[in-house]
């Protein structure tokens, strides 16, 4: 009989295993642990952020705030420092490692009770939990679901955590790709002609504002500002300010429009085609034509959809936190816990989802 059985060898499960030290077992269905840790942040693992607020998360505000009371970004940074896990503060207030292998190596050294290549098939509850796998049956007093979302299936992402939650009567907030590029309606196909162009812009969606890079791609539009916008977008319009206060750039009457705007020339030329405007000298602009140029300050488009789960960094939606207490335990089944991305809490880019993984695991540890 195992005291604590952790299903999932990602960041939240590994951190909990480290905190417990004994009387636990982690079951990981991949051949190795921490697949998403390895690729996060382009291989540098964006671990947390200098600025942390529930406003950086999609989910129940009260629940998120309560979890961070016990373990926030400063607590995580102190833990990293205490364990000689040196991080670097880079742009956008994010904390990175020089390599994700630093964190992975730490967990491999300090979290020993792990069985890999184990696929959980089913679970039932009697006076204890019985977990059926492709390599036998495990019995446990408590079960922690730390299986993550369903993004990056090539890394072995699985929906087993959501299936377990459903089996025990939990509501699953609909799962959708998040932190992902957006596809386009036919009217915005001019974006595709700009593939490879990147620059900073202001992107707005549902009262959220992101002033970061956008990147045009063959499939649509992406880049940090769009990835963040995708977390908050479900349907409807997204607004982009490609440039602010366009009038101040159009002061030289004898210059062509495309030479005066602080934007890539190829972008400007494609935009002019989109609004049926000739690239002419500024002095020849009519009032109506100037109004068309003003669209650059507030360009609205309705995405057709997203690049999908395989290209999404995370999954939004998940186990409804209204059915989870602040100790991460199910309100429906005693001894069943949920931590990390499997819950309906999803952070923006910049280390927020790793922070959630660590904070939720720590809150559970306090109450075991």
pLDDT for 368 equals: 87
CATH of span 182-306: 2.40.30.10
Strands 136-145 and 2-7: parallel
Q: Of 208, 183, 213, whose CA–CA distance to 198 is shortest?
A: 213
Q: What percent of the chain has pLDDT over 90?
A: 90
Task: Report whether pLDDT(153) > 80.
Answer: no
Position with higher pLDDT, 91 vs 295? 295
Cα R_g (the chain), whole angstroms: 24
Q: Of 319, 311, 362, 317, whose CA–CA distance to 338 is shortest?
A: 319
Q: Where are the domains of the chain?
A: 2-176+315-367, 182-306
The CB-side HSE value for 172 (13 A sphere, CA atoms) comes to 20
Task: Report whether pLDDT(154) > 80.
Answer: no
Q: Of 329, 328, 340, whose CA–CA distance to 151 is shortest?
A: 340
Task: Report whether pLDDT(89) > 90.
Answer: no
Crossing angle between the packed helical segments 61-70 and 352-367, to the nearest 10 degrees:
70
Mean pLDDT of 269-294: 94
Mean pLDDT of 249-272: 94
Mean pLDDT of 319-348: 98
Does domain 2-176+315-367 fall under CATH 3.50.50.60? My reply is: yes
- Full-model pTM: 0.95
Phi, psi of 125 (to 5 degrees): -120, 125
Average pLDDT, the chain: 95
* CA 289 to each of CA 274, 275, 285, 361: distance values in angstroms, whole numbers, following the listed order: 13, 9, 6, 56
pLDDT for 144 equals: 98
pLDDT for 71 equals: 98
pLDDT for 19 equals: 97
Whether the domain at 2-176+315-367 and the domain at 182-306 fall into the same CATH topology: no
User: For residue range 33-82, what is the model confidence (pLDDT) as tens digits?
Assistant: 888 888 888 888 899 999 999 999 999 999 999 999 999 999 999 999 99
User: For residue range 279-288, what is the model confidence (pLDDT) as tens digits?
Assistant: 999 999 999 9
Q: Of 161, 110, 126, 113, whose CA–CA distance to 2 is shortest?
A: 113
Task: Report whether pLDDT(157) > 90.
Answer: no
In this structure, what token pair is assigned to residue 161? 């955590």
Q: Of 355, 349, 363, 365, whose CA–CA distance to 72 is shortest?
A: 355
58/174 Cα distance (integer angstroms): 13
pLDDT for 309 equals: 94
Determine contact, residues 342/365, Cβ cutoff 8 Å: no
Q: Of 360, 361, 366, whose CA–CA distance to 63 is shortest?
A: 360
pLDDT for 35 equals: 81
């Amino acid at each position: 009989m195992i005291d604590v059985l952790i299903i999932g060898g990602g960041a939240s499960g590994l951190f909990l295993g480290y905190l417990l030290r004994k009387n636990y077992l982690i079951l990981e269905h991949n051949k190795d642990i921490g697949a998403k840790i390895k690729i996060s942040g382009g291989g540098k693992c964006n671990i947390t952020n200098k600025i942390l607020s529930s406003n950086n998360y999609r989910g129940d505000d009260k629940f998120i705030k309560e979890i961070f009371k016990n373990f926030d970004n400063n607590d995580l940074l102190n833990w990293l420092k205490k364990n000689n896990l040196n991080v670097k503060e880079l742009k956008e207030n994010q904390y990175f490692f020089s390599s994700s292998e630093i964190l992975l190596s730490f967990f491999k050294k300090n979290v020993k009770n792990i069985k890999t290549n184990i696929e959980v098939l089913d679970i039932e509850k009697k006076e204890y939990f019985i977990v059926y796998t492709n390599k036998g049956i495990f019995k446990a007093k408590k079960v922690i679901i730390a299986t993550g979302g369903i993004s990056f299936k090539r890394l072995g992402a699985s929906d087993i955590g959501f299936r377990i939650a459903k089996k025990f009567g939990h509501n699953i907030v609909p799962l959708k790709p998040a932190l992902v590029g957006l596809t386009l309606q036919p009217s915005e196909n001019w974006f595709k002609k700009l593939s490879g162009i990147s620059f900073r812009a202001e992107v707005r969606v549902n009262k959220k504002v992101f002033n970061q890079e956008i990147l045009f791609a063959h499939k649509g539009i992406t880049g940090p500002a769009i990835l963040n916008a995708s977390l908050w977008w479900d349907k409807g319009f997204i607004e982009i300010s490609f440039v602010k206060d366009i009038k101040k750039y159009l002061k030289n009457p004898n210059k062509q429009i495309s030479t005066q705007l602080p934007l890539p020339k190829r972008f400007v030329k494609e935009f002019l085609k989109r609004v049926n405007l000739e690239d002419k000298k500024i002095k020849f602009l009519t009032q109506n034509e100037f109004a068309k140029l003003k669209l650059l300050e507030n360009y609205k488009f309705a995405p057709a959809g997203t690049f999908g789960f395989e290209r999404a960094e995370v999954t939004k939606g998940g186990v409804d936190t209204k059915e989870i207490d602040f100790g991460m335990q199910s309100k429906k089944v005693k001894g069943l816990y949920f931590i990390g991305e499997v819950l309906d809490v999803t952070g923006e880019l910049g280390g927020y989802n790793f922070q959630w993984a660590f904070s939720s695991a720590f809150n559970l540890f306090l109450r075991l």
